[in-house]
Structures are given as structure tokens and as C-alpha cells.
Amino acid sequence: MASNICVNLLFPCITILHLIFTLARSENYIIHMDLSAMPKVFSNQHSWYESTLSKVTANNNLTSSKIIYTYTNVMNGFCANLSPKEHEALKTSPGYISSIPDLPLKLHTTHSPQFLGLNPFEGAWPASKFGQDVIIGLIDSGVWPESESFNDNGMTKIPSKWKGKLCQFENSNNSSFCNKKLIGARFFNKGLSAKNSNINTTIVNTTRDTNGHGTHTSTTAAGNQVDGASFFGYANGTARGIATLSRVSMYKIVWGQNEDPIAISSDIMAAIDAAISDGVDVLSISLGPTFDLPLNEDPIAIASFAAMEKGIFVSCSAGNDGPDFKTLRNGTPWLTTVAAGTMDREFHATLTLGNGVSLTGWSNYLGNFSASNLPIVFMGLCDNVTELIKVKNNIVVCDDGDIIEQYSYVYQANVVGAVFISNISNFDFFRKEEYSFQDLSYANIFISPIDGEITKSYIKNNSMSASIANMSFKLSIFGTKPAPGVYSSSSRGPSNSCPYVLKPDITAPDTSILAAWPTKLPVLDPVTEVFNKFKFLTGTSTSCPHVAGVGALLKGARVDWSPAAIRSAIMTTSNIYDNTKEHIKDIEKGNEVATPLALGAGYVDPNRALDPGLVYDVGVQDYVNLLCALNFTQKNITTITRSSFNDCSKPSLDLNYPSFIAFFNAGNSSSRAIQEFHRTVTNVGEGQAIYVASIMPVEGYRVSAIPNKLMFNKKNEMLSYKLRIEGPRMTQNNEVAFGYITWQDGKHVVRSPIVVTTTNFNL
């Protein structure tokens, strides 16, 4: 009977089968359209989109149901459910610019939780209950308590281990601004006031953030979920911190406005002291000394030693003085020192020429660019402001040249829009804060030299009046390659305060991180009247709270681990390869392979850190042995340890650390030099395990592990091995070679970096 119906209704049956097949394969796509291409017969964008879709859909009656959203503010375009055939056909439609899949849970605005692989259904997030009941203390510039990122939705009652009592806002010690998310807020300025009595007339005794830095770092580490966050249309989506359900306690020690922050050592130490008393589990410190200090004079080194003894995991920024070596701050052995790395997100714009050709480049332009069909002119190197002023109402095209100077010249000419032809990357150009999301003066797009030739050819083959173009902005693109990379300004090791411990430890996201911002502080400089709830920041200040958040997740899931064990897990499970499966590159060094002096052990991977297999643990006495070997006096050591009974009977520079740095003397001697390191690893996996060592060669050196097999019979068993580095003496000062030792048991990969260099490290 059914067969007869199909025979009698052959064509309807075929149509139905085609629709079923089409719908089964359909996906959602976000379609970007050029509004200037909309014919005047259409009264609104939606009707135009419907008409456009009707020409590519299998059944015109289903066209309107395919359109899910029509966008008129954040972009010109729509979201539609299309089959692959329909999607391909749409690409040839007039006005089509680009499309991206509408992937579920794809857009998190900081993007860093997603880039780090955090998943609500498996891994570090659910294992730690999103960091629930872990308390993160931040030593910073204060907090903006009204931020939505500090909402306490879904949070349990404050854990009993919390001893903090103060919530200091506007001269009140028991302010209602605190809740189950923001559980503490204290300020420290007595040292600053005593040092500068005039400061009392310019500061207000409150933990409220007048700088923005503290609000940003605290919500990067532990901000609660906020939907619909963006920076004027860029990175639109859901904002959340790394440890979403962890508690936050702010300790304000930074005073002054954004352009002139002030902090001094006495206030920093008082703040860390209070944090220890209050019962924090993790400390995030995105600041450091302005010059090198010995460990016994470094307030952060001294105060954090006590924190380490109490089991507090401390994350510190490496500094933003790169790319030169020996610029690293916070190289203290008992801290986790964080370098800065890029992500796979860029912000793009589209240049559509009058002949319909669309070219995509990158742009951070924030304005609303509504002009269409503007004349476009080629102005060579754009190095003549007078000539640029003559065409300021055009879109000017600048040939490949000194991009920073060109950007300035075009700014002075006050042009309506500019296209810069350059191979310079988004990260390279905006490594200076003043160029990053600061300028509203003119629309700008950076395109590749290949696309530049297409643009110049179009202009050359048309008269000036006929050469027109349109520009569209605010496209957030994910999956750019290669990523990650080591950011240009990230400070490099080794640390002058303790060069025998390889620093930095780890690299984490730092470029254009979107997090909460005080709503009464401008988000653009020098523009003073533009405000937003969120802002992008770049630097190791933003990479540090990422690792603090990861530390909180591990604290929540592995409550018995020491700070050193957490650091070890983070380091040995990190990634050394980017999304092209090549070794992570150093952006400032011509994209050459990043050495551990820039990258540390690798790029942080929170999910793998949850199950590292082996950890390199370090106790208080181990740190004392190191201090003794560094020739600190008993008085110096007591300054750090607060104990007058420091056992220096076994001094050793060979700390049980998950990395290695060997210093060799330069010279022409034919004799072979040998250095040996001793390490003890603890099996934190389940039961029996056999680990076998493999060595990624260090060029010019013979590296071996003795023994090269470790057989564990039970959990928490400790076994030792020796790493031997043998080779000829280096003939040049300032040479660097590196490799890795990796222990594997078939499930776990436990990797440690090895650096070999000369004593006179003056790069």
C-alpha cells in the first residue's frame, strides 16, 4: 500500500525524501553580510536575508524558519540552519562576506578556559566542583564589588575554614558588598601613608578598585559566569574565570589611578600576612619588584615563604620586561612563576571592494562604522601627512612599511578609514598598550601583502571616482594558527635572584584577556568618557591569575597535595607544541623555537595536571639547603624562614625541582665536562607503575637518566634517579641549548625541560 502511494505520488515523495536528507545534515551557521549590498527594494535586513536564502534553499516555504536570528547591532547578518549544499550556494550570493559554524559552548569571552581545554562535563572543572570552597586571595589594586562577575549564584555557604572578618568599603568594616563569592576585602596603606604623608589627601580608605587591575585579575582567576559579556561587540559570549566557584578575597595594596599606581613593600607584606591569617588556599600576585633583589630583601619572597609553609599555592607574574633574557622578576624557588603566551583568537574585519571581492584582515577598531561605498585610494607608504589630509574622506591604502609610523601619520591626518598592508601580526602590533583597543579616531584594517596586491590592482584598474570599498568590523575569529606562542614582552629567565632554579615555571594565556572592569573607570586611553563592564588586558598580570585559578582547581580536587606538588603537576603535564603540532615559538625572536628560559616547562594544561602520574615534591628543609648553598648567612636565612635554627649541614643547589638548568664555563678545552642532578619523584597515580625515561637531545651534549626505568609498587612511593649531562665545554659565552627528559608509563607523560648554558649569561 505504501509502495503504491509512493508510485502515485512520486515527485512529492522525492521532495519529502530530499528534505529529510537535507535536514539530517543541516547545521547552524552565522552569516556575515555586507549591508551596502542590500537592494533598495527591501525595507529591512530581515526581508533581504529571507530573499537571499530563498534562492539557495530546497523549499522556499521553509526559508523563514531557517533564519534563527537577525543581527543588526553586533554585526550585519543572520544565523540560519543550512545543509552543506545550501551553505555552499549561499557563498555566491551578492553581499555574502563570511560564515562560521554556530558551535555549542564555543564562545567564552576570555576564551582562555576553552583554549585551556576546560570542560564542564569532564576533567578539572567537575573533578574540583569548579574550585568550590577554595579561597583565592589576590594582592592587587582592589575590587569593584558591584561587578556581575562577583555574583554568588549557585554558591554554597562560606566554608568554616574562612577566618576573615573584614569587608572594607567606604570606611565600613562590615559592608554588604561582600557575599558568598567575594568573601573578603581589605586595604593596606599604612606603610605608604607613613612614607608619604601627603598621600593621605589623595586616597580613600576603601578596597574599592580605582585602578581596574585588581578587578580584572580577580575575575580572571575566579569570576562567576556572566552571559552576554563583550568589549563593544568583540569577544561576545559568556565570561567566566578559571575557577568559577572559588571564593575571592581581595587585599588592596596598590593605590593611585591607572596611569600612576603606587605600592610599597611594607603594605605588600602586611597584606600577605593577613591573607595567611584569613585562611586563603591560593595567592595570586600580579606584581613584583622593579629591580632585582636578593631573596632576603624581596618582600614577596619573604612573605610567600610563610605562605608556602602553610600549604598556600602562590602564583606570581614573571614581569613584562622581555624579550631580553635575565629580565624575569619573582624568580623565587617556592613560588610558581608565570610567563605570558598568546591564544588562538584574533579580531578581524572585512574590506569589500567595489567589484565584490571581500578581503579579511585583523582589526581592533571599536567604533561603529556606518559609511558605505567610500572612495578608496592608494597612498604609497602613507608618510606624508599633508597629502593624507587631502584624501581624509577616503579609505586610504598604505603599502608595506614602518607600520607604527604609518599608523601615527594616518591618525594625524584624521582620515575616515585606512587599510595597512603588512605581515605584522595582531600580537606584534598591539604589544604596546597604547595601540591596543585605544583608538576611536579612524577605522583601520591590516591585510596581508597578497591581499594588498589585490587591493592595489583594483584601485589601479579603476578611476578614482569608480574605486569604492566598504569596511565591516568586530568579527571574533577562533582557531588561528600557530597558537600559542610566547608573548613578546614576557620576561625571560634565568632569575638573577636564584639562577640555579630554572624560571619561568609555566606559560599561560595573556593576550587580550577579557575580564571585569570598574564601571566608573574609562576603558580607553586617552579617551575619558567611554565605559564598559569588561575590558581587555595583556601581560603577565593576566597570565598569573590563570595559573592561580588552575591551582585552585587542583587544590579542590587534590586536597592533600603540597604547593610544590601542584606546581610540579602543572609543569610536567604542560604542552610544548602549538596547534600546528610544532614546538611553541618565541614571537619576538623571529618565531624561532621558544627555549624554556622563555616558555618554562610549557603551556598550562589544567586537565592533564589533574593526573600527572609523578610529582617532584619539595619540603621546607630542601629550600633551606638551597639557601645555605647560595651562601646566605644565618641571619639572611632567618629573615626568610623566620627560624633561628636553620640546618645548613647539607647545603645543595640541586633542588628537587621538575626542571634542570646547567651552567658550563666557556672555553676551548678538549676535556669533557659533567654535571649531575639528583631527583626524587612520588607516584601519585594508582598502584603499581613502571616508568621509562626518554631524552629529547640537547644539542652538543650527552644526557642520560640513571636508572632509566622506575618501578613503583604502590601509590605515594618515592623513587630517585640521576640526570647526567656530559659534553664539551662551550666555546662561546651566552650559548643556550635545551631538551627534555620524559618519563612515561603508557598512560602518563611526565616531561621536564633541560637547559644548558654558560655561566656568564649576559644576553
Active-site residue set: 140, 213, 541
Distance from C-alpha of 541 to C-alpha of 159, rounded to nearest angstrom: 28
Amino acid at 294: P
Tell me the C-alpha distance between 260 and 85, whole Å. 57
CA angle, 698 then 699 then 705, to 5°: 30
DSSP state for residue 312 in the 8-state scheme: -
Between the alpha carbon of residue 396 and those of residues 203, 370, 387, 393, 402, the distances in Å are 47, 17, 11, 9, 16
CA torsion sign for 567, 660, 643, 646 is positive
Tell which residue, 751, 659, 625, has the closest CA to residue 696.
Answer: 751
Beta carbons within 10 angstroms of residue 215's beta carbon: 31
Q: Is 118 exposed, middle or buried (0-12, 13-18, 19+ CB in 10 A)?
A: buried
**Distance set, CA 308 to CA 137, 506, 561, 677, 751 (Å):** 14, 18, 12, 24, 24
- Among residues 453, 451, 446, 449, the alpha carbon closest in space to that of 428 is found at 446
Contact status, residue 312 vs residue 306, Cβ threshold 8 Å: no
Q: Contact 169/208 with Cβ under 8 angstroms?
A: yes
Buried b (16+ CB within 10 A) or exposed e, 527-563: eeeeebbbbbbbbbbbbbbbbbbbbbbbbbbbeebbb
Spatial CA neighbour of 57 closest among 33, 32, 22: 22
The DSSP line for 392-461 is TTSEEEE-SS-HHHHHHHHHHHT-SEEEEE----HHHHTTSGGGSS---SSEEEEE-HHHHHHHHHHHHT
Q: What's 295's DSSP letter?
A: G
CA 250 to CA 182: how far, in whole Å?
8
- Kindly state the cell numbers that stand for 266: 611594607
What's the burial of 391, exposed, middle or buried (CB within 10 Å: 0-12/13-18/19+)? Answer: middle
Q: Which residue's entry shows cell 606538588?
A: 565
C-alpha cell, 46: 530581515
Give φ, ψ of 339 to 5 degrees: -90, 175
- At residue 349, φ and ψ (nearest 5 deg) are -145, 165
Report residue 635: phi and psi, to 5°: -65, -45
- Rounded Cα–Cα distance for residues 210 and 143 (Å): 8
- How many Cβ atoms sit within 10 Å of the Cβ of residue 481? 9
Q: Which residues of 620-648 are buried (b: 16+ CB within 10 A; e: fewer)?
A: eebbbbbbbbbebeeebbebbbeeeebee
Taking the CA atoms of residue 679, residue 684, residue 690 and residue 692 in that order, the dihedral angle to the nearest 10 degrees is -40
